[in-house]
Amino acid sequence: MENGYPDTDPDDPSKYLNDDFLGWDVCNYSGPVPTAGMPGCKLVDTDNTGTVVNAGLYCFENAEITADNCGNSYLEFAADGCSAESIVGACTDIPVEGDYTAISTGYYYQGAVDTNATCTDVRGTYVQ
């Protein structure tokens, strides 16, 4: 601890700056984190209608993701993978179905809503 603040560690995604910029908080999340080098697929609201729940707050990864199979009106290819910052939950073991081209792990970020329910909807296992 330096100057009364917790030490920072860029390799530890459980530490993040809080939204109020009052100091460092330690997130209670202790589940899986994105795999380095694994491509990701981000949920987005490309037409800015606000109708895509958790747009910008959910990303999933699997080794089969490409720019060709992750690119429609609500998904955006993330060649560098999903972010490890501000994760609040994960959805593991998502089976192959729909947008999921291989067994996947999805990550929910700070601000995401109904995370457990949306994970259940895609038949994954929710981890917080």
Residue 74 lies in a domain: yes
Instruction: Look up the domain containing 67 and give its range.
Output: 32-127
> In which band, very low, low, confident or very high, does the pLDDT at 13 lie, cut at 50, 70 and 90?
very low
* Residue at 38 is within a domain: yes
Residue 50: CB partners within 8 Å, gap ≥ 6?
A: none
* Contacts (Cβ under 8 Å, ≥6 apart) of 61: 34, 35, 38, 39, 40, 41, 81, 82, 104, 105, 106, 107
Global pTM value = 0.78
3-state secondary structure (DSSP) of residue 116: helix
Q: Is residue 21 part of a domain?
A: no
pLDDT in tens, 44-96: 998 888 889 999 999 999 999 999 999 888 999 999 999 999 999 999 999 99
The residue type found at 87 is I
Task: Assess if residue 18 is contained within a domain.
Answer: no
Is 13 part of any domain?
no
Instruction: Say if 42 falls within a structural domain.
Output: yes
Q: Domain count of the chain?
A: 1
Q: Has residue 100 been placed in a domain?
A: yes
